[in-house]
Structure 1
Amino acid sequence: MSIILISRLVGLTAFVIQVATSKESPKAILSVWPPGTTVYVGESVFLQCRVERGGTAAWTYRWSRKQPHTTLTTGRGLLVSGDSLSITGVSREDSGPYWCQAETERNNVTVLVQSDPAHMAVSDLAHSMLTVTPSSRQFYRGDRFTVQCPTSESNNSTGWVLQQLTKDFGLRTADFQNGSCSPLEGAVIPKTRETCIFSSVYSGNGGLYWCERAGVRSNAVNISVSYGSIILESPVHAVSEGDVVVLSCIYWNKSRSETTFFRNGVEVVTLSSYKTDKVIKMTIDNVTSAHQGFYKCASRDRKMESSESWLAVRSNSTSTDGSTDAAGDGVWKWASLTCFIVLLLLLIPLTIWLVYRYRYQMSCTRGCCPSTKEGAAMALPKTKQDVSEVQWDLSWMEMSNLLDKHYILGAVVESN
């Protein structure tokens, strides 16, 4: 009896330990910033992988897209830093489900946990646009810039809230209802129409900014604060084909004798300047989709180099909300349908005429035209055209005779 009781107690203890262990097993949580399943072409997106109940273990992370357990290839525009993945200049190819996988060693045993998928659908330009003035993603410490939520003359942009995601993934929301920009840090001055002015920028003002209202959000802009010697000022939003675009390389003190601009790591142009100049500008006339890419500037000796900024170019065939011109599609559809109807109307009478002519030739061959066997005299051809006509008629007559013989032979066989 005591042995049975002991075994039951041991089994119950093992069951309790197993349940406690399953409840304490680590779990990977994947978050997307800005939140939601829709992201917009050209904006910046951050993904964070967080392990719950992971203890003090050191975790390493791997990322997958579209297929789980396959390592995502990083490169220009895709950057992995610890437990985060950043996408700069979102493109159509960035759509799909994402997974993160965390791995660690415990008692010489590999522990592997994978998150649930986070789905990202890439859409064209957002209907509501966040405005940054001056239009740049890079600023020096001590600079001044303004962030303004989308405005509308009809509703005076009422109801928007400004969100800031800091570098350590802290979320701050500007309290416009109380007429302030707190808890945004630094020298921030509130202004009308849900606008915040950062009058003296410091590192804490860097991060991802976007506006939200009633389940709708604007595009997101990633702002960086530099403590270096050179930055690049470029348009925050996508520019249209045919526009004139100016990229400004801004030095903290003074420029060198030559400044080089790069696109996607390849030298575009080198401009000479006076050493007293702090701003060197590169102008792109009649911009096209070929000019889209990551830009940076550097001194000729490459001792000073800015961060990269994404320049997005919007096709003129795309409307302001990013959708293709529906009217143009409609015109092409109606034109195609009209051509098909006209072709059909031409083919039907032509087909009827050919059938009628065939039946007429057959009836003429059998009943109207005299047979050569009956000794009917035929006029001799006088010209080459008459010869062709006679050959044509003889061909039909021979075919008719063959058909008649086949018909008569079949009738005789059936009667027998």
Structure 2
Amino acid sequence: MNIILMSSLFGVAAFVLPATASKEDLKVSVSVWPPGSEVFLEECVLLQCTVASNSTFVWRYRWFRHKPDTVQKTQENPRHMVSGGSYSITAVTWEDAGSYWCRAERSDSNGTVVLLSGPTTLSVSELLLPSLTLTPSTRHMFIGDTFTIRCPEPQTSSSSWVLRQTSPSHGTRTYDSKTAACSPLEGSIGAARSGTCVLSAARRHAGLYWCEDAEGRSKAVHITVSSGPVIMRTPAFAVPQGSSAVLSCHYWRGNHTKSTFFRNGIEMCTTSSSSPGRDIKLTIANVTEAHQGFYKCASQDRKLESAESWLSVRRHSLSADLSAGSNPGYWIGSCVCILFILVAIWLIHYFKYKMIYTQSCWTPSGEESPATALPATKQDVTEVQWDLSWMEMSNLLSHT
């Protein structure tokens, strides 16, 4: 039995057991959407494993992190989801940085072919530039729902944003804000704002969306399009810590008055609506990181249940303070506060020093206090013994 090792310039290796007569050029690679090795906090990222070959074999895929072996597999993380050759990450965190591998396998009468990709390394950073706007702010839509996507304002008059989308077949379609044409996405342009793309949700509109220009890109958001019976709507982007988050159990049809909400598979509560309808909402006030997780909802009789939707909570960061520092009023207020703090510290130290100096050096009348004799104390026994020994030793020395 022969073992053949083939490697390419891109670090791709293929192991064939046993050697077959096929001369197809087998290559496996991992593509990242949005393209690039740098991903941003709280956005959605998709990794796609692809085998380039002339055959139509059905491949089985396995994913690995940090080490491409059978021991270190994908971590047990609810934000990391594997579906065949697709590896998606919801709401990227700092811990998601690292190397990723995929392995493709197939078996037939001639043997087993195992292909291992080269490492794909992701680095995580925080995006301070404006991101795209999604209205309504939810990643889950019903077929026929109207939603709008707006790219940030161009940095200069000569530049323009390009809205990109990866379709379910992983093709890329674009919308150019300069030409004000949404035809590739089969939508229309809002009359008030030329940079807004208005879409009527269809299956082809599912996928990742992000904006690009000459300076870089925005965060990517993943949109799913469903035909029912119920979807769980959570905010599309991270909710600031301390604010309120509105969750919605949205039904395809019918009138509903109660819904049960779950977090990470555990029942939270049952919420009632004052009037029957398709939407039953749950408001979480003063959200913290403890509220972060996957949410789903179900009808009162539990016959209708939604898929899970992630709620992300953004903690306070120094970057937000730095971005706020571009406002002149921010700097003026900061300088006043710092000056006030320095004056307060100086006053505290001044009066503390004056009080200590007064108590240790000055008398209440400003005159020196008369010296007082120390009270007589009884001599300690050990002192007497020590004195006697010293006297005896002196006598001995004098006689010598």
Q: TM-score, normalised by structure 2?
A: 0.71
Q: Structure 1 residues 383 and 231, CA, compared in 2 at 3 Å: closer, same or farther?
A: same
Mapped to 2, the partners of 1:289 and 1:73 lie a distance apart of 21
Secondary structure of the residue aligned to 1:297 is strand
- Corresponding residue of 1:249: 249
Using the TM superposition, name which of 293-302 and 60-69 deviates more: 293-302
- Corresponding residue of 1:36: 36
- Determine if the alignment matches structure 1 residue 170 to structure 2 residue 197: no
Q: Which amino acid in 1 is paired with 2:195?
A: E
- Corresponding residue of 1:103: 105
Alignment deviations for residues 140-193 of structure 1 (CA, whole Å, 9 cap, x no partner): 1111111011226x64694211000011101101133322013113x4335535
Q: Which amino acid in 1 is paired with 2:135?
A: T
Q: Which amino acid in 2 is paired with 1:253?
A: R
Mapped to 2, the partners of 1:67 and 1:86 lie a distance apart of 18
- Corresponding residue of 2:116: 114
Q: Superposed, which structure 2 residues align to 1:15-414 within 5 Å?
A: 24-53=24-53, 55-69=55-69, 70-73=72-75, 76-125=78-127, 127-151=129-153, 155=156, 158-185=159-186, 187-189=187-189, 192-198=193-199, 200-214=200-214, 216-273=216-273, 276-320=276-320, 383-384=377-378, 387=380
Q: Structure 1 residues 156 and 253, CA, compared in 2 at 3 Å: closer, same or farther?
A: farther
Shift of 1:281: 1.2
State the identity %: 47
Alignment deviations for residues 10-52 of structure 1 (CA, whole Å, 9 cap, x no partner): xxxxxxxxxxx89843111110111111222222111111111
Q: TM-score, normalised by structure 1?
A: 0.69
Gaps of 5+ in 1: 1-20, 332-380, 398-416
Q: Structure 1 residues 242 and 75, CA, compared in 2 at 3 Å: closer, same or farther?
A: closer
Alignment deviations for residues 230-278 of structure 1 (CA, whole Å, 9 cap, x no partner): 2223211111111011112222223434201111111111112367222
Secondary structure of the residue aligned to 2:236 is coil
Shift of 1:107: 4.2
Q: Kindly indicate whether the alpha-carbon contact (under 8 Å) linking 2:180 and 2:189 is maintained by their aligned counterparts in 1.
A: no
Q: Kindly indicate whether the alpha-carbon contact (under 8 Å) linking 1:156 and 1:193 is maintained by their aligned counterparts in 2.
A: no
Mapped to 2, the partners of 1:248 and 1:279 lie a distance apart of 6
Q: Kindly indicate whether the alpha-carbon contact (under 8 Å) linking 2:43 and 2:219 is maintained by their aligned counterparts in 1.
A: yes
Mapped to 2, the partners of 1:320 and 1:252 lie a distance apart of 39
Greater share of strand:
2
Secondary structure of the residue aligned to 2:29 is strand
Mapped to 1, the partners of 2:162 and 2:101 lie a distance apart of 30
Alignment deviations for residues 174-231 of structure 1 (CA, whole Å, 9 cap, x no partner): 133322013113x433553522111x22111111100111251111111111100222
Q: Kindly indicate whether the alpha-carbon contact (under 8 Å) linking 2:255 and 2:278 is maintained by their aligned counterparts in 1.
A: yes
Shift of 1:320: 2.9
Q: Structure 1 residues 278 and 24, CA, compared in 2 at 3 Å: closer, same or farther?
A: closer
Secondary structure of the residue aligned to 2:306 is coil
Greater share of helix:
1
Mapped to 1, the partners of 2:322 and 2:115 lie a distance apart of 38
Higher-Rg structure is: 1
Q: Structure 1 residues 312 and 157, CA, compared in 2 at 3 Å: closer, same or farther?
A: farther
Secondary structure of the residue aligned to 2:102 is strand
Q: Structure 1 residues 53 and 189, CA, compared in 2 at 3 Å: closer, same or farther?
A: same
Mapped to 2, the partners of 1:42 and 1:264 lie a distance apart of 19
Q: Which amino acid in 2 is paired with 1:142?
A: G
Q: Kindly indicate whether the alpha-carbon contact (under 8 Å) linking 2:176 and 2:182 is maintained by their aligned counterparts in 1.
A: yes
Gaps of 5+ in 2: 1-20, 326-330, 339-374, 391-400
Alignment coverage as a number of residue pairs: 320
Shift of 1:317: 4.0
Secondary structure of the residue aligned to 2:204 is helix
Q: Which amino acid in 1 is paired with 2:209?
A: Y
Q: Which amino acid in 1 is paired with 2:172?
A: L
Mapped to 2, the partners of 1:321 and 1:47 lie a distance apart of 33
- Corresponding residue of 2:362: none
Shift of 1:285: 1.0
Q: Which amino acid in 1 is paired with 2:101?
A: W
Q: RMSD across aligned C-alpha pairs, in angstroms?
A: 3.4
Q: Which amino acid in 2 is paired with 1:383?
A: T
Mapped to 2, the partners of 1:388 and 1:207 lie a distance apart of 95
Q: Kindly indicate whether the alpha-carbon contact (under 8 Å) linking 1:149 and 1:157 is maintained by their aligned counterparts in 2.
A: no
Q: Kindly indicate whether the alpha-carbon contact (under 8 Å) linking 1:258 and 1:270 is maintained by their aligned counterparts in 2.
A: yes
Mapped to 1, the partners of 2:117 and 2:237 lie a distance apart of 33
